[in-house]
Copies of this chain bind each other. A is one copy, B any other.
Amino acid sequence: MMMPDLTIEDIFSREKFIFIAGPCAVESEEQVLDTARFLKSLGVNFMRGGAYKPRTSPRSFQGLKEEGLKILAKAKDETGINIITEVMDSDNLSTVTKYADILQIGSRNCQNFSLLRRVGELNKPVLIKRGFGNTVDEFVQASEYISNGGNNQIIMVERGIRTFESSTRFTLDISAVPVLKERVPYPIFVDPSHPAGLARYVEPLSLASVGAGADGLMIEVHPDPQNALSDSKQQLNFEQFRLLFDRVNALRDTISKF
């Protein structure tokens, strides 16, 4: 199924279902360009990819930094795909802002109020992920730090919370989708990749998210997941993503008639 190119305005109008996809981390020009071309071939017009990576351990791969941003820019130049990438602090905010179409605030920065205030002053869409230790209430209040600065271009992403259950990496709080839709006027997305932890759970969690009423999905896709430098177990390869993409669209078609 081929879809017309969606724009950032389509995200905020909430009339069409949106896919954001791409690798956990920018690793090389080839990896990023291959992914961008693949996504555009499906009509997916939003690519994620981390250049600055907030890793639990200082010994893990920390991202290619500005070099990574330049690779994302090249992919955008060639394909026209919109770029979503993470900003980790005020220091790299201006650099990231130059390259990103949508700024991402990661789960660990959901209550980094200094950073939230800073992106609230920009005229640039912000995608904020729920902190894995944060309640829905706190997540809503985090969004207020952004909107208080005048920036209402906010995308909120449920990505799983910490619980006692260990068969998945995090527990996707699927109920947060309808709860958030009552409380804020923003598009509510789900990231099924991080709670899944394993690629084979990403599709059922994606279909569940559509059922729960999500406005979009943010999914980790990599040309060669086994050799990814981070999150290798949960990234989908192109074929897996293509199947998921078709199924999600079919489900969404059914729901749009309700």
Chain A residues in contact with chain B, CB under 8 A? 54-59, 88-92, 108-109, 111-115, 117, 131-138, 141, 144-145, 148, 161-168, 171-179, 195-196, 200-201, 204-213, 247, 250-251, 253-255, 257-258
Contact = CB atoms under 8 A, between A and B. Distances in A.
A117 B91 CA distance: 12
Q: Which 3 A-B pairs have the closest CB atoms?
A: A133-B133, A207-B211, A89-B114
Nearest to A203: B178
A134 B108 CA distance: 10
A175 B196 contact: yes
Contact of A89 (B89, B210, B247, B251): B89
B166 A161 contact: no
A195 B213 CA distance: 17
Nearest to A192: B175
6 contacts: A58-B117, A58-B144, A172-B174, A178-B204, A178-B205, A207-B213
B167 A171 contact: no
A166 B108 contact: no
A172 B55 CA distance: 26
A253 B250 CA distance: 11
Nearest to A134: B133
A58 B118 CA distance: 13
Given A211-B212, A251-B254, 7 more contacts: A58-B148, A133-B134, A133-B162, A135-B166, A164-B164, A171-B173, A250-B258
B167 A176 contact: yes
Q: Which of A88, A109, A195, A208 has the most CB of B within 10 A?
A: A208
A167 B175 contact: yes
A163 to B, nearest CB: 5
Contact of A161 (B163, B196, B204): B163
